[in-house]
Amino acid sequence: MRAGWDDAPMETRTLGTGVSGLEVSALGFGCMGMSQSYGPGPDRDANIQLLRDAVELGVTFFDTAEVYGPFHNELLVGEALRPVRDRVVIATKFGFAKTPDGKGRTVNSRPEHIKQVADESLARLGIDTIDLFYQHRVDPNVPIEDVAGAVRELIEAGKVRHFGMSEAGAATIRRAHAVQPVTALQSEYSLWERDPEKEIIPMLEELGIGFVPFSPLGKGFLTGKISVDTKFADDDFRNIVPRFDAENRAANMALVELTGQIAAKKGATTAQIALAWLLAQKPWIVPIPGTRHMDRLRENNGSVDVVLTPDDLAEIEAASQAVVIVGERYPEALKKMTGL
| Closest residue by Cα to residue 57 from 27, 30, 22 | 27
Alpha-carbon Rg for the chain, nearest whole angstrom, is 19
Return the higher-pLDDT residue of 180 and 43: 180
- Hey, is 72 helix, strand or coil? helix
The pLDDT of residue 103: 64
Residue 188 has pLDDT above 60, yes or no: yes
Sign of the torsion angle spanned by Cα atoms 3, 270, 308, 301: negative
Q: How many helices (H) and strands (E) does the chain have?
A: 11, 11
pLDDT of residue 305: 95
- Residue 40's pLDDT is what? 65
Mean pLDDT over residues 156-170, rounded?
A: 97
220 pLDDT above the threshold of 80: yes
Q: Is 134 a catalytic residue?
A: no
| 3-class DSSP state of 150 | helix
Is the pLDDT reported for residue 268 higher than 70?
A: yes
pLDDT digits (tens, 9 = 90+) for 57-116: 999 999 999 999 888 999 999 999 999 999 999 999 999 987 676 667 889 999 999 999
Of all residues in the chain, what percent carry a pLDDT higher than 70? Answer: 92
Q: How confident is the model at residue 234 (pLDDT cuts 50, 70, 90)?
A: confident
Residue 321 has pLDDT above 70, yes or no: yes
- Give the pLDDT confidence score for residue 104 in this predicted structure: 72
> Which CATH number applies to 5-218+284-305: 3.20.20.100, 3.40.190.10, 3.40.640.10, 3.40.50.2300?
3.20.20.100
Q: Which one of 38, 68, 134, 189 is the catalytic residue?
A: 68
Residue 25 dihedral angles phi and psi, to the nearest 5°: -65, 155
How many angstroms separate the CA atoms of 229 and 203, rounded?
40
Q: Which helix (H) or strand (E) holds 81?
A: helix 72-81
pLDDT of residue 333: 61
Whether the per-residue pLDDT at 286 is higher than 90: the answer is yes
